[in-house]
Structure 1
Amino acid sequence: MKTAVIGTGMMGQHHVRLYSDIKDSELVGVCDQNAEQTERLCGLYGGNPYTDYREMLDKEKPDAVTIALPTYLHRQATMDCLDAGIDVLVEKPIAKTVEEAQEMIAEAKRLDRVLQVGHIERFNPAVTQLKERLEAGELGKIFTIHSRRQSPYPGRITDVGVASDLATHELDMMRNIAQSEVTSMTADVSKVMNTDNEDIVLGLLRFENSILGILDVNWVTPTKVREVSVTGENGMFTVDYLNQNLTFHANYAAEQSERTEWFKTKFGVTEGDFTRFRVEKKEPLRVEIESFMQCCRDKSTPLVTGEDGMEALALALKIVECGNHNKCKR
């Protein structure tokens, strides 16, 4: 499969590296306005360097392309690739606006092309195991999903705020875990880094199935935190995305089936066993790209669809709006 990458920022460079290494992928082109950057990457990983992606599409005729441009350029580049008969993996957020995302989704459907959105944490092995355990009923009924995604301010991002850049990851993860849609939310946002966009977001979301989502995202924490905790009847699962760890704190009372109903009511939740599960470590981006290429071959539905990306974007934009109005209905 002939592959190419448009945009060679931090994420784009990793896509280039992996397309050059993944079996059955022939990296044919790398495009960015920074000619020195593309030439350097092609020297390391192969493919031909371009500064105009339309020229690259015309000359190299790739089968599949990653778009890792600044967000405001996603729509046009995606539409051009789809119209050229190319399957697309577009980095998150899918687009600048929901309307742009809708156009991209409609065009992919019209042309019967694959459109996958780069919500990388869906491919994290710890998250994969978490989903398997939740689906097996090990947690029982889910009560809350608490997502924390925090880091220092990234100077490389200037066109969107922390809601679109970081919160979209966690909002997508919440929907994926809850298997439900948001009905209402409260939120607060702040701008403390003297930028035009928000850099702190705190949100509380209510899902249709009564699960509560707690969102804590910012660009002002001097260390990276990437964590989601899911609390339910039988205890709490926690995923550390960075270290690919999955742990479980059991509810001791839930383990004691012989206890009376009175005792369960009076002493219903106590600390039980702590378990750290074995997780086979893998690079999530490699898994994501391999999954994308398989969808291109099979013309199957991606794990993260355009609709998923659009819903995460819509929620992120709504949270920013709610920051000034306290409570919003979806």
Structure 2
Amino acid sequence: MSPPLRAAVIGLGWAGSVHAQALARIDGVELVAVADTDPTRRAAYPHLYQAADVTGLLGHDLDYCVVATPTATHEQVGLTLADAGINALIEKPLAPTLAAALRLAAAFEQRGLVASVGHTERRNPAIAELATRLRAGDFGDLYALATRRHSPFPDRIRDTGVVSDIGIHDVDLIAYLTGRPISSVAARTASLTGRGHDDLAVAWCLLDDGGLASMELSRVAPLKERLLVLHTAAGRVSVDAVTRTITHHTNAAIGAGAPLTGFRGMSRGRVISHHIEGPEPFHAQSLAFRDALRGRAHDLVTLREGVAAVAATEAILAAARLGTDVPVATSIIPKASHAVEESPL
């Protein structure tokens, strides 16, 4: 039997703490070290090796690191790990700019390392079930997709706005669920808190096949809302990622056994709703990274997919600033591959 994979978490804020808890429950992985500039945060892990930053971990025989530091530091921390030959799971957004995200992706690819970006919304059980059913053709043609993501103000997030902070999830989900990259965007944003970042945003996305998607974002709401609405040949499908519920308002115009291609009309049918059980997203992500390192089948979000998400959010902010449609730089992002490669671990 192979020895446990030796892991470390860099950055012990909210996300880093959740990663540490998830790693502590994964068979075949041993959390052996943590790093954070705050000694008080490090003190919460007295049984682990502690360092102030990534350089203090490099001689500690690590198989991989989780990078949960502020977004502005992802490039420096990630490049240090890549140079040291250490695999990495990097929190979203992959980097603060498209150029930095591309440099990160190239660094890990050139060294043949396993690397992923933490788009955990894909691993919400309801969204994962939706993706499976879409790929199976259960809902037929997908006409359009809309997302709503609202949150109370996160005092801990001070270095970025709502588009880069939580909108990054939705641009990733749009590409993931439709199977198509976003080719251009239009958007408007507003800042209410005086911190110089966007707090409200709406964006309209055109996919490369002409498909439509829209996003509505805020971090000044008195509630947490995570909703996806899909218009399909089989009717309207909505997913509440908070309650993990899928609700299908069926299209009565589609007869039993009829092909779900082409528009055959739309009329009200019965409503079907399901609560979806499944593992916690951070736990599922940790399992996938372990399996990737062991050379097993996995569904990691690749760094190239992380690059694509950064490209889309960068275009949304540019569109809001310029007041015009902006193309997304997809031509420089090679199509991601989910092929499983042999791993020495």
Task: Report the TM range for the smaller structure's normalisation.
Answer: over 0.9
Establish whether residue 87 from structure 1 lines up as the match of residue 87 from structure 2: yes
Separation in structure 1 between the aligned mates of residue 122 and residue 12 of structure 2, nearest angstrom:
23
Deviations 1:64-104 (A, max 9, x none): 11000000100011111111111100000000111111111
Alpha-carbon shift at residue 176 of structure 1 (Å) = 0.6
The total of aligned residue pairs comes to: 319
Are positions 1:51 and 2:80 aligned together? no
Amino acid at match of 1:230: L
1:186-201 equivalent positions in 2, closer than 5 A: 186-201=186-201
Counterpart of 2:327 in structure 1 is 329
Structure 2 Cα separation of the partners of residues 242 and 47 of structure 1: 33
Shift of 1:279: 1.9
Does residue 73 (structure 1) correspond to residue 73 (structure 2)? The answer is yes
SS at match of 2:253: helix
- Deviation digits for residues 220-279 of structure 1 (CA, Å, limit 9, x no counterpart): 111000111111111122221122222211112123789xxxxx97xx322211112352
Other structure's SS at 1:253 match: coil
SS in 2 for 1:21: coil
CA contact (8 A) 1:116 1:302 kept: no
Q: 2 CA distance for matches of 1:247 and 1:38?
A: 43
* Residue type of the alignment partner of 2:49: N
- Is residue 277 of structure 2 the alignment partner of residue 286 of structure 1? no
1:327 corresponds to which letter in structure 2? D
Q: Distance in 1 between matches of 2:315 and 2:106?
A: 22
In structure 1, the partner of 2:35 is: 31
| Aligned equivalent of 1:208 | 208
Deviates more, 1:271-280 or 1:87-96: 271-280
| 8 Å Cα contact 1:30/1:50 also seen in 2 | yes
Task: Trace 1:156-175 onto structure 2 (pairs within 5 A).
Answer: 156-175=156-175
Q: 2:254 aligns to what?
A: 254
Provide the C-alpha distance between the structure 2 equivalents of 1:255 and 1:76, rounded to a whole number of angstroms: 56
SS of equivalent residue, structure 2 residue 247: strand
TM-superposed CA distance for 1:207, in Å, is: 0.8
Distance 1:19 1:96 in 2: 26
Distance 1:278 1:149, change over 3 A: closer
Q: In structure 2, what residue type is equivalent to 1:271? A: R
Equivalent residue letter for 2:26: I
Q: Which moved more, 1:293-302 or 1:170-179?
A: 293-302
Give the Cα separation in 2 of the matches to 1:169 and 1:31.
Answer: 26
CA drift at 1:205: 0.8
Paired position in structure 2 for 1:7: 11
Deviation at 1:49, TM superposition (A): 2.1
Greater CA drift, 245-254 or 113-122: 245-254
Unmatched tracts of structure 1, length 5 or more:
259-263
What residue ranges of structure 2 are gaps of 5+ in the alignment?
329-345
Q: Secondary structure of 1:140's match?
A: coil
Query: Partner amino acid for 1:255?
Result: G
TM-score (norm 1): 0.92
What percentage of aligned pairs have identical amino acids?
29
Alignment of 1:91-130 (within 5 A): 91-130=91-130
Deviates more, 1:29-38 or 1:272-281: 272-281
- Contact 2:243–2:275 (8 Å) recurs in 1: no
Aligned-partner SS, 1:280: coil
Look up the equivalent residue of 1:285 and give its one-letter code.
Answer: F
2:299 pairs with 1:295: no
AA matched with 1:107: A
* Number of the residue aligned with 1:320: 317
The change in CA–CA distance for 1:323 and 1:11 in structure 2 (over 3 A counts) is same
Match in the other structure for 2:217: 217
- Contact 2:54–2:80 (CA under 8 A) maintained in structure 1: no
Counterpart of 1:261? Answer: none
SS in 2 for 1:255: coil
Higher helix proportion: 1
Say if 1:35 and 1:49, in contact at 8 Å, map to a contact too: no
Alpha-carbon distance between aligned partners in 2 of 1:22 and 1:201, rounded to the nearest angstrom? 37
Q: CA deviation at 1:139?
A: 1.2
| 1:310 maps to 2:307 | yes
Q: Distance in 1 between matches of 2:183 and 2:77?
A: 33
Separation (CA, whole Å) in 2 of partners of 1:257 and 1:67: 48
Mapped to 2, the partners of 1:302 and 1:79 lie a distance apart of 23
Q: Contact 1:124/1:283 (CA < 8 Å) preserved in 2?
A: yes
